[in-house]
Amino acid sequence: MTARKRIGILTSGGDCAGLNAVIRAVVHRAVGTYGWQVLGIKEGTQGFLQRPVQYQTLDLSNVDGHMMRQGGTILGTTNRGDPFAYPMGDGTTKDRSDEIIGGYRELGLDALIGIGGDGSFAILHKLAEKGGLKMVGIPKTIDNDLGMTEVSVGFDTAVGVAVEALDRLQPTAASHQRVMVLEVMGRDAGHIALAAGIAGGADVILIPEVPYSIDSIANKIKQVRASGRNFALVVVSEAVKTAEGTGVKKLLQGGEKRYGGIGDYIGEKIADATGAETRVTVLGHVQRGSPPSARDRLVASAFGVHAVDLIAEGKFDRMVAWSNRGVIDVPITEAIAHYSCVELDSALVKTARGLGISLGD
């Protein structure tokens, strides 16, 4: 039996599918099972910076129905603003961490659930250390690059949207005998590109973990054609860099071009090297806002319930995690310390190579 608590919940960093399902699960467990109070902090830690603190009370009446089926987060989020070095808008930064801690105390919170990625967790952990915040983290990122968990909320949906795009590009590629290049998200890791490329029938998948050469890509496409197939599908992670070793967006901003991404660069190089008619699609933010897949909602629900249970048991500074068909929890410091990029000996890399997919190397 636990005493009645008041807990806060916030979403932080880039949004993704499944955040609302996490929020719903937390409310069902905390309010429905334990009879606690749940306050939803607005816009990540931004809500704590305002006075009065910006929040909404969450109870069963406002989390059921359509909400869990929807992308985005009803609480709002942001990827701006480390409170320890908060950008003041005039080029300077300021340590506003005490304001966050003050906001937490103003609400009289017993604990805080932060739904975020490694960046958010690092900040929340620092706040917890400095101000005594009792915090539990729930991992979300479409990039799936968080260590210590098999999967994070949002990844499965993002992969599904990318695969659907490949399903749509394939018939038009075949009708016009084209090479279709699809640039997908993934800030530093190639997980989305790798999974979507395998599931979507790609011939080439470029991920930042594997250096590529245009020659190698061109050879694969020529080989596809030689086998009698008149089209090819290429998936490129946005984290892939140009042959000169620079990220395209940076290059473009530093030089003459300001628009476009690595997909355009790769598409142009393929066209030059193979003579193939090439078209590029940059999938963009539809990967984030899509309705969450069943699996993302399942993982989100399990995470939300377990995070509340951790608070009930007085376990803090931990991140819930998925492992072997179930939910566990790990020290959040370990999760922050382990970045998860694509392992070159992983099952999916082997599967990709086994299918004859070129990784550009």
Residue ranges in 19-48 that form contacts with its own copies under rule CB under 8 A = 19, 21, 24-25, 28-29, 32-33
One character per residue 191-220, x = contact with its own copies (rule: CB under 8 A): ----xx-xxxx-------------------
Q: Which amino acid appears at position 240 of this protein?
A: V
**Residues 55-114 within binding reach of its own copies (CB under 8 A):** 60-61, 64-66, 68-73, 76-79
User: Does 295 engage in binding with its own copies (CB under 8 A)?
Assistant: yes
User: Does 244 engage in binding with its own copies (CB under 8 A)?
Assistant: no
The only residue of 172, 213, 313, 339 in contact with its own copies, by rule CB under 8 A:
172
Query: Which segments of 134-261 does DSSP mark as H helices, in order?
Result: 155-176, 191-199, 214-226, 248-254
Tell me whether residue 117 is annotated as binding: yes
Q: Which residues are paired to 238 by β-bridges?
A: none
Q: Which is nearer to its own copies, 101 or 202 (CB)?
A: 202
Taking the CB of residue 70, how many other CB atoms lie within 10 A of it?
17
Least separation in angstroms between residue 313's CB and its own copies is 13
Put residue 148 in one of left, alpha, beta given phi > 0 → left and psi -120 to 50 → alpha.
left
143 is catalytic: yes
Q: How many degrees, rounded to 5, is the angle at CA 44 between CA 43 and CA 46?
A: 70
Find the catalytic residue in 15, 143, 203, 264: 143
Residue 165: exposure state from Cβ atoms within 10 A (0-12, 13-18, ≥19): buried
**Residues 107-166 within binding reach of its own copies (CB under 8 A):** 150, 156, 159-163, 165
Q: Which is nearer to its own copies, 77 or 97 (CB)?
A: 77
The only residue of 85, 214, 273, 302 in contact with its own copies, by rule CB under 8 A:
302
Nearest in space to 304 (alpha carbons), one of 66, 6, 92, 33: 33
The only residue of 131, 298, 316, 333 in contact with its own copies, by rule CB under 8 A:
298
Q: Which amino acid appears at position 6 of this protein?
A: R
Least separation in angstroms between residue 232's CB and its own copies is 10
- Greatest Cα pair distance, the chain, in angstroms, is 71
Total number of residues that touch its own copies (CB under 8 A): 101
Least separation in angstroms between residue 336's CB and its own copies is 21
* Residues composing the chain: 361
Q: Which amino acid appears at position 7 of this protein?
A: I
What does the block give as tokens for 235? 């998936």
Q: Within 13 Å, how many C-alpha atoms sit on residue 177's CB side?
A: 7
**Residues 246-265 within binding reach of its own copies (CB under 8 A):** 252, 256-260, 264
* Cα 142–chain centre separation: 2
Bind-site residues for substrate: 141-143, 178, 185-187, 238, 279, 285-288
List residues forming the annotated binding site. 14, 80-81, 117-120, 141-143, 178, 185-187, 238, 279, 285-288
